[in-house]
Amino acid sequence: MALEALLALEDGTTFPCRAFAGSGEVAAEVCFNTAMTGYQEAITDPSYTGQMLAMTYPLIGNYGTNPEDVESAAVRVSAFLVKEYLDFPSNFRSSKSLKEYLDDAGVLGVEGLDTRALTRHLRIRGAMKGVLSTQDQDPASLTQKAKDSPGLLGIDLVKGVTCVQPYRWQEGKVWENLDLSGDFDAEALWAPSQGRYKVACLDCGIKYNILRRLEQRGMKLIVLPADTSPETILRLQPDGLFLSNGPGDPAAVTYVVDTVKELLGQVPTFGICLGHQMIGQALGGNTFKLKFGHRGANQPVMDLATTKVEITSQNHGFCVDAETIDDPAVVMTHVNLNDRTLEGLAHKELPLFCVQYHPEAAPGPHDADYLFDRFQEMMETGKPPV
């Protein structure tokens, strides 16, 4: 018989469930994702660090897991919550069941949870902290633990997921680690990579598919730890700077904001998700926490230049407040059609743009893939994107 488990939220609401993978107790922010496919990409997405993830689609495990559909080297969610786990993968690429995958990673997976009730609760009450346990079944005690848990606000989660060492991304994988600690010859560093443009990627928890999409466009990629100094970046003489997605409260990652500020206008820059929030702050804006975030693969975003709508993949709990950016040279390029929040920024004078959502998809639609072309164009011309 499966282990009984209990999820308690900080407001005292509890949800009974049972473990299908792992055991133990974990505290984290609780969030939900509305995508109907792509659970493997989701659980390996570093942006979910510090969160336990519930899928709103009730049947999970259907197609197993495989070595290709990973967005980082590890399972990143604190725990994985589903309605029904199907322990019989049916897909020609599947190499391991989801249960084995989570077991290997030591991550707790629970099923039998009324994920719709949980989703409604978070939608109505807003995001909150929770504790999931197979050990402690006492609602009061778990609720207290949830209240006492640190949560996300003001905490820098990037430092836990960024790469320890710089590395070269090549042929779709982490190719080799690089040493930039002392003096280095930029030319020589880039030389082994194939491609036209040299792109330095600041890793705040970068999703592999961003690297795959950039590489497929013919870019040479060196991935750098989040705290890499502006000087080091400039010494690399990159054609472009990419600022990645990542977990947690963007306001707590001040050192990256400082780096971006420093580099503004010096290198054509493209940011995604947390990268967008870094740029937003570097341009003088503030970020705020959304009530329950945007997580899914069906978020409509309008490109304000063309008024065309793209269906986007999203995963963010914080948002840049467009009102707080005074700079008249900064324009809002994309907006979320569901709640009208800011989805994209560009600079009229500097080669700089960023989006809150995920053009690299994985999981999700490919509608926004053109943004990687835009980045390439910007490197080609060195001109502002708008």
Report in angstroms how near the CB of residue 374 gets to other proteins at its nearest: 18
- Contact with other proteins (CB under 8 A): which of 44, 115, 170, 356? 115
The single-letter code of the amino acid at 325 is I
Q: Would you say how long the chain is, in residues? A: 386
- The rounded radius of gyration (Å) of the Cα atoms in the chain is 21
Which secondary-structure segment (H or E) carries 272?
Answer: strand 269-272
Interface with other proteins: number of residues (CB under 8 A): 51
What is the smallest separation between the CB atom of 291 and other proteins, expressed in angstroms?
11
Residue among 39 and 242 whose Cβ is closer to other proteins: 39
Binding mask 175-194 for other proteins (x = CB under 8 A): --------------------
331 binding other proteins? (CB under 8 A): no
Q: How many helices (H) and strands (E) does the chain have?
A: 11, 20
Closest alpha carbon to 129 in 111, 155, 105, 104: 155
**How far is residue 325's CA from residue 283's CA, in Å, rounded to a whole number?**
7
Closest distance of CB 44 from other proteins, Å: 12
CA pseudo-torsion sign 338, 286, 52, 172 = positive
Region from 84-92, 144-152, 193-201, 216-224 binding other proteins, contact rule CB under 8 A: 84-92
User: Among 28, 172, 21, which residue's Cα sits nearest to residue 109?
Assistant: 21
Q: Which residues contact 80 (CB under 8 A, 6 or more apart)?
A: 21, 39, 43, 52, 53, 55, 102, 107, 108, 109, 110
Known catalytic residues? 273, 358, 360
In angstroms, what is the minimal distance from the CB of 295 to other proteins?
Answer: 9
Stretch that binds other proteins, among 138-146, 192-200, 210-218, 298-306 (CB under 8 A): 298-306
Q: Contact with other proteins (CB under 8 A): which of 24, 25, 365, 386?
A: 365
Residues 27-66 contacting other proteins, CB under 8 A: 34-38, 40-41, 56-59, 62-63, 66
C-alpha span between 323 and 335 (Å, rounded): 13
CA distances 227 to 169, 247, 305, Å, are 19, 15, 34
Residue with tokens 């708008």: 386
The window from 4-12, 137-145, 270-278, 357-365 that contacts other proteins (CB under 8 A) reads 357-365
Enumerate binding residues for other proteins (CB under 8 A): 15-16, 34-38, 40-41, 56-59, 62-63, 66, 68-69, 83-84, 86, 88, 90-93, 114-117, 119-120, 123, 296-300, 302, 307-309, 311, 337-338, 361-366
